[in-house]
Chain A
Amino acid sequence: MTAQTQPHTTTGASAWHITWSIARYKPWLFAFAFSVWVAFYTMPVLTGLATRWFFDALTGGAAAERSPWSALALLAAAELGQVACFVLAVGSWNICWSVMDVLPRANIFAWVLRGPGARLFPAPPGELVNRLRDDVLELNLLIDTWLDFSGVALFSVLAAWVMISTDVTITLVAFLPIAAVTAAARLLGQRLRAARQASRRATGQVTGLIGELFAAVQTITSSGAEQRATAHLRRLSDRRGEAAIRDKLLTEALATFNTNIANLATGLVLLLAAGGIRSGTFTVGDFALFVAYLAPLSSFPVWIGRLLARSRQAAVSAERLADLMPGAPATDIGRHRPLYLRGAMPPAPPALAPAEPLTLLEVRGLSYRHPLSGKGVHGIDLTIERGTFMVITGRIGAGKSTLLRALLGLLPAQSGVILWNGQRVADPSRFFQPPRVAYTPQTPRLFSDTLRENVLQGAAATDRDLARAVHTAVLEPDIAAMEHGMETLIGPRGVRLSGGQVQRTAAARMFVRDTGLLVFDDISSALDVETERLLWQRVFARRDATCLAVSHWPAVLERADIVILLEEGRIRATGRYADVLLQTGDVGEVAG
C-alpha cells in the first residue's frame, strides 16, 4: 500500500534545476535569446566610449585626434546596434517565455491526472489554481532575471575595466556606495523572504474565498448573506493589502536606490575629480564616461539582490508546486514532454486496453485515518465475488465513503492489502479505473461542457453504447425534454442540471465505461423512489454486473447479497439484510 505522503523538501538548488530544465525545452531558441539579450546589455560600453571621445574632441579643439562629428557618428552606430539586439531579443524571448509558461503546468496536470497514489490537495481548487498561476510565473521569472543579470554582469566587468584604466582611485571611491547597497540588500534578504511568504499566503486566502463563494453562490444568495460574505472578503483583502505593502516596500526600497546610488557615486566622483578637471588630468570626457557607466553599473547590486531573492522565491514556489504532485520528484515539474504548440494536435488518446475481468475482489485489513479529524476506517476485510451486489451502510460519519475512496485509492490507505483475482494490487489509484472499475461519487463533479462530453469524457463508445448507458441511468426522459438533447451545455460544474440529473449523468458516465465492477456512493440521495427503483432494475439487467454501493435505503439493502454495517470505521455486522438486523438486534441503528 502507499505510505503516508511525505512532505516535500525542495532546496534552492532544485528550483534552479527545475527552471534550467524548463529553459532548455527549446535549447536553440533559448541560446539565441540569451546571446542577444547579453549583447543588448553590453552595448552601452561602446556608447560610453563614444561619449567620451565626443566631449574630448569638443574641448580638444583642432588638436583633437577626431572631430566631434565622427564621434557622434560612432555613438549613433552603437545605439542603432543596441536597438537591433533589442528587436531580436524581445522576439525570441517572447516565444521562449510563452513555452516556459506551458511546460510546468502541463507536467503538474499530467501528474495530477495520471500519476500514482491518492490526490489529497493541501488547499481548495481556487488556491491550487492560484499556485498554478503565480508560482509557475515565479519559477520562470528566475530564468528571466538570470538572463538580465548575465547581461548586466558582463557590462559591469567591461565598464569597470575601462574606468579603472582611466583612474583607479576615483573608480574605487565611486564603487563605495554600490558596495554599501549590496551589503544592505543582503541584510534585508531575510525580512524580504518572510514578507513575500506572508503576502503570498494572504493572497491565497483571498482567491480561495472568492472561488468558494462562487462555487457556493446559491447558498450565499438564498441566505441573503452577500453583504456578510463580502465583508469577510474585505477583511481578508485588508490583511492581504498590509502584507503586500510590506513586501512591495522592502523590494522597491532596494530598487529605488538604483538611480540614486548612481547620483551618489557621481557626487563622490565630483568631489575627487574637482582637482583633476581643474588641472585637466581628468577630462570632461572622462567625467561623462563615468556618469554614463555609473547608472547601469549601480543597478548591478540590485540585480544580484533580485537574483538571490528570485531564487529564494522560486524555491518557495517550487515547494508549493511540488505539493501538488506528492510522491513525484520535484524535478518532474520541468520534465520535457511534447506540448503540441504548433502543427497538428495528436489524435485523442486511444481506447483503453482490455483487462482481466473480475472474478474475486478481496480486501484485507484496509485502514485509513484522516490526518486531521483522526476518523476513518480500520482493519476492513471484504470479499466481493463476480455478479454479486454488496451494500455498505451505517450512520453518518461511520466511514462509508471513506471506505470506498480508500479502496479505490482515492485516499492513501495506511495499511491493508487488496487482491484482484488473487493478485495483489500495488497502486489502487491507477488500477481501479476502467476497464476494471468505474465510480460515481456521492457529490459528482461535472464540467462546463455539453452533456455528451460529460458522459463520454473521452470514452470510445458508439451511439448505441451511449444510448444504453443513458437508458440504464434513467436519464433519457430528461434528455428528451432538453431542446439540444445530449448537446445541451450544462454550465459550470453542471449547475444547469438538477441534483438528480447531476447524479444520473455521473451514473451514465460510469455505465458507458462498461466495467465489470460498478461502485456507487449513495446514488439515491437525489433520486425519487420510482427513478431509483428503475435504475437498480436496469443495472441488474446488465450482464455480469458486480456492484459495490453505499446506501441506507431498505429497498436497496434488501436487494443486496451482502450488507456491511459500518460503525465508527469498523465492520459491525456482515450478511444479508435480515441477518444484519438480527445481529445488531436494533433496527433503528441500521435503517430506522
Chain B
Amino acid sequence: MATLRDYRALLVRYLRPQRRRAALLAVLVLGTTGLQLAGPLMLRAFIDRAQAAAAMQTLVWMALGFLAVTLLTQFVTIAALWLSEQVGWAATNALRGDLALHCLRLDPTFHHTHTPGELIERIDGDTTALATFFSQFVIRIVGAALLLTGVLLLLMREDWRIGLGLGVYSALALFLLLRVRAIAVPHIARSQQASAEMFGFMEERLAGVEDIRANGAGEYTMHRLLGVMRHRFHRQVRAEMVGDSIWIFVRLFFLVAGVGSLAAGTWLYQSGAISLGTVYLLFQFTTMLRRPIELITGQLHEFQRAAASVGRIGALFAERSALENGTEPLPAGPLPVAFERVTFAYEGEPVLQDVSFRLEAGRTLGVLGRTGSGKTTLTRLLLRLYDVERGQVRVAGSDVRTLDIDRLRGRAGVVTQEVQVFRASLRDNLTLFDPSIPDEQVRRVLNDLGLAHWVESLPDGLDSELAGDALSAGEAQLIAFGRVFLRDPGLVILDEASSRLDPATETLIERAVDRLLAGRTAIIIAHRLGTVQRADDILILEDGQVQEFGPRSVLAADPVSRLSALLGTGMQEALAS
C-alpha cells in the first residue's frame, strides 16, 4: 500500500524538473484564492451600504467592482489550469517512460507471469490515473486548502467563536474523511486488479481469436469471460459503494455547518452584535467552505485511485531483476564464447547439467538436439536473460555476470523463430527504434536480403507503417535478419532461424548469412542437419547434457559418432536441402 513517503518520492522525482512552472502555478493559485475571498466581502459591504441607503452612484461602482473581480478570476483560473496540465503531463510521461523501461529490463520470469494486457493497464492505466492527480493536485487540493484557510481566518476576524468552531469542525471532518479513505483504498486496489485481469484475459483472447474460432472454443471462451466479468463486477460495486460513502459524509457535514452558522448569525444579529450584511457574509462563507472541502474529498476520490495506482507503480518499480548488472566492456571484433561446467534449472526443473564447450572467435557452432534438450537455454544464458546456477558462461574471457548487460546484448545479434513486427514504420522495425542509423545503411541491408523490390512496392518506402498481419511469416523472418545485419554484432545467434523460410527464399539469404558470419562468432541452433552444414564445430545436446562436441569434419568422419548416426538415419533429404 502506498505510504506518504511513496507519494513524496514520486512527487519529488517527477516534479523537480518542473520547478519553475510549478512556482508560477503556485502564484496563480494564490491569486485565484485572493480573488475568491474578495467577492463575499464586497457583497457584505454592498448590502450594508444599501440598507443604510447610501448614494446610488456608490452602489453602482461597487457592483461594477464585483464584476471586474469576477472576470479576472476567470482569466487566472484558466491560466492555472493550462499550466497544471503541462506540469502533469510532463511528469507522468516521464514516469510512463521510466516504468516501461524498468519493466522491459526485468528478467523473463517477470514477463512469464504478466500478460501484455495487464502491463498496459499497470503502465498506462495507473500512470493516467496519476496524470489527473498530478495535474490537478496543486490546483485543486492546494487551492482548496488555501481557500479553506482564508475563509476560516476571515470568519475568525468577524467572530472568533464562529471561526474557531467551524475551524475545529472542518479539521474533524477532514480527519474522518481521511479515515474513510484508508478504508476505501484496498477495495479500489482490488477492483483495479480485477479490471487488469479482465482486460488481460480479453487481450490474449483477441490475439488468439483465430485459434479459438477455428477450434470451436468460442462458446467456452465466452463462458469463461462471463466468469471473469462477474468477478470484476462484484469487486467494482463494492469499491464504488465504499468510495461514495465519503460523499454522504460530506453532505451531512454541510447540513450541520450551514444551519449552525445561520443560527449563530441569527442570535448575534438579534442581540445587535453584527449587521445584516455580516449575517449574509457568514452564510456565504459557510457555503464557500463547502467547495474546498468537496474538492478535497472529490480529489480524494482521485486521490484514492491515485493512491492505489501509486502503490501499484511502487510495487512495479520494486520488482527487481534477478540479474545484477556488471561493468566490464567487451572488445571489438568477433567474440569467443565458453561454457564451463554450466548447470541451470528453471523453476526447479533441470534444463542444463554440467555443460562445457569452447567456441573460438570467428568460428561457427552448430547446436543439435531434440526439442527441449536445452538448446535455446544456451543462448538465453549467453545473453544473460537468466543466470547460471553453477559454472560460468564466458564471453571474450569474462564471466557474463561481470559484463554490462546492455553492451553484452548490444554486441550479440539474435534471430529467433518468433518474430515480432511492431505497428511502426519499416525503418523503426528494422532499426528497433534507433534513429541514428542512416537510411543508406538500412537500404543496403534490405538490398542484401533481396527485399529492395518489396520496399519499393510499399506506399511510403521506409516510412510505411507495418501491421503484423500484412507480412507473411517469411517476410517477418527477413525483417528479423535485417535487424541483426544492421547491428554489426560480434556474436550471431540463429535460433531455428531458417525454419520459416521456404528453401527458395532461404537460398536468397544464404549469401547474406555467409557475409554476416564472416569474421564473427556464430551459434546456429537448428533441428535440421542441413542448416548446420556451415558449422565449424558441432555440439549435440540431449536432456541438458553434452552428448558430443567437436569439429564437424572430425565428427562426420568418425563412423561411431552421434553426428554420423544422425546423418545415417535416413534424413538425407534434410541434408540436401
B residues 391-433 in Cβ contact with A at 8 Å? 405-410, 412-414, 416-420, 422-424, 428, 431-433
Q: Mark A580-592, 1 if CB is under 8 A from B, else 0.
A: 0000000011111
Task: Name 19 A/B residue pairs within 8 A (Cβ), A-sorted.
Answer: A68-B266, A72-B262, A72-B266, A86-B247, A133-B125, A226-B101, A230-B101, A233-B97, A241-B89, A241-B90, A245-B89, A339-B226, A395-B505, A397-B475, A457-B217, A492-B112, A526-B371, A527-B371, A528-B371
Are B269 and A58 interface neighbours, CB within 8 A? Answer: yes
Once bound together, how far apart are the Cα atoms of A68 and B75, in whole Å? Answer: 39
Are A439 and B63 interface neighbours, CB within 8 A? Answer: no
Residue numbers in A under 8 Å from B218 (CB-CB): 113-114, 433
Are B210 and A245 interface neighbours, CB within 8 A? Answer: no
Residue numbers in B under 8 Å from A106 (CB-CB): 222, 225-226, 229
Partner of A244, one of B89, B262, B412: B89
Once bound together, how far apart are the Cα atoms of A509 and B39, in whole Å? Answer: 73
Q: Mark A492-526, 1 if CB is under 8 A from B, else 0.
A: 11011011110010100110010000010010111
Tell me how far the C-beta of B529 lies from the nearest C-beta in chain A, rounded to whole angstroms: 8
Are B216 and A492 interface neighbours, CB within 8 A? Answer: no
Q: Say if the beta carbon of B70 comes within 8 Å of chain A.
A: yes
Residue numbers in B under 8 Å from A232 (CB-CB): 424, 428, 433
Q: Mark A89-124, 1 if CB is under 8 A from B, else 0.
A: 011001101110110011001101110000111011
Q: Say if the beta carbon of B455 comes within 8 Å of chain A.
A: no
Q: Say if the beta carbon of A223 comes within 8 Å of chain B.
A: yes
Residue numbers in A under 8 Å from B86 (CB-CB): 245
Q: Say if the beta carbon of A442 comes within 8 Å of chain B.
A: yes
Q: Mark B506-531, 1 if CB is under 8 A from A, else 0.
A: 11000000000000000000011100
Are A83 and B222 interface neighbours, CB within 8 A? Answer: no
Known: A433-B214, A443-B418. Is A500-B85 also a contact (CB below 8 A)?
no
Q: Mark A329-348, 1 if CB is under 8 A from B, else 0.
A: 00000000001110001101
Known: A226-B105, A253-B78. Is A113-B241 also a contact (CB below 8 A)?
no
Known: A124-B468, A405-B210. Is A229-B432 also a contact (CB below 8 A)?
yes
Once bound together, how far apart are the Cα atoms of A214 and B113, in whole Å? Answer: 12
Known: A95-B237, A257-B74, A274-B59. 6 other contacts (CB 8 A): A113-B205, A228-B433, A229-B433, A231-B433, A499-B417, A590-B503
Q: Say if the beta carbon of A75 comes within 8 Å of chain B.
A: yes
Interface hub of A256, A373, A589 (most chain B Cβ within 10 A): A373
Once bound together, how far apart are the Cα atoms of A211 and B330, in whole Å? Answer: 33
Once bound together, how far apart are the Cα atoms of A244 and B89, in whole Å? Answer: 9
Once bound together, how far apart are the Cα atoms of A362 and B96, in whole Å? Answer: 53
Residue numbers in A under 8 Å from B142 (CB-CB): none
Known: A249-B81, A260-B77. Is A211-B67 also a contact (CB below 8 A)?
no
Tell me how far the C-beta of B111 lies from the nearest C-beta in chain A, rounded to whole angstroms: 5
Once bound together, how far apart are the Cα atoms of A219 and B476, in whole Å? Answer: 13
Q: Say if the beta carbon of B212 comes within 8 Å of chain A.
A: yes
Are B432 and A501 interface neighbours, CB within 8 A? Answer: no
Residue numbers in A under 8 Å from B74 (CB-CB): 256-257, 260
Are A340 and B259 interface neighbours, CB within 8 A? Answer: no
Tell me how far the C-beta of B560 lies from the nearest C-beta in chain A, rounded to whole angstroms: 20
Q: Say if the beta carbon of B202 comes within 8 Å of chain A.
A: yes
Once bound together, how far apart are the Cα atoms of A79 and B290, in whole Å? Answer: 14
Once bound together, how far apart are the Cα atoms of A558 and B577, in whole Å? Answer: 14
Known: A105-B229, A212-B423, A229-B432. Is A592-B211 also a contact (CB below 8 A)?
no
Are B214 and A432 interface neighbours, CB within 8 A? Answer: yes
Interface hub of A113, A245, A446, A509 (most chain B Cβ within 10 A): A113
B residues 225-261 in Cβ contact with A at 8 Å? 225-227, 229-230, 233-234, 236-237, 240-241, 244, 247-248, 251-252, 254-255, 258-259
Once bound together, how far apart are the Cα atoms of A458 and B230, in whole Å? Answer: 19
Once bound together, how far apart are the Cα atoms of A25 and B67, in whole Å? Answer: 48
Q: Say if the beta carbon of B448 comes within 8 Å of chain A.
A: no
Tell me how far the C-beta of A62 lies from the nearest C-beta in chain B, rounded to whole angstroms: 11
Q: How large is the interface on A (under 10, 10 to 19, 20 to 34, 35 or more residues)?
A: 35 or more
Q: Which of the segments A13-21, A150-158, A383-391, A475-483 contacts the partner chain?
A: A475-483
In the complex, residue of chain A having the shortest beta-carbon distance to the beta carbon of B422: A212
A residues 540-564 in Cβ contact with B at 8 Å? 552-555, 558
Residue numbers in A under 8 Å from B457 (CB-CB): 373
Q: Say if the beta carbon of A163 comes within 8 Å of chain B.
A: no
Are A264 and B204 interface neighbours, CB within 8 A? Answer: no
Q: Mark B551-576, 1 if CB is under 8 A from A, else 0.
A: 00000000000000000010101101
Partner of B214, one of A98, A408, A524: A408
B residues 88-142 in Cβ contact with A at 8 Å? 89-90, 93-94, 96-97, 100-101, 103-105, 108, 111-120, 123-125, 131, 135
Partner of B227, one of A226, A345, A447: A345
Residue numbers in B under 8 Å from A410 (CB-CB): 210, 213-214
In the complex, residue of chain B having the shortest beta-carbon distance to the beta carbon of A267: B67
Q: Say if the beta carbon of B23 comes within 8 Å of chain A.
A: no
Once bound together, how far apart are the Cα atoms of A223 and B219, in whole Å? Answer: 40
A residues 195-232 in Cβ contact with B at 8 Å? 206-232
Q: Which of the segments B4-12, B49-57, B179-187, B298-306 contacts the partner chain?
A: B49-57
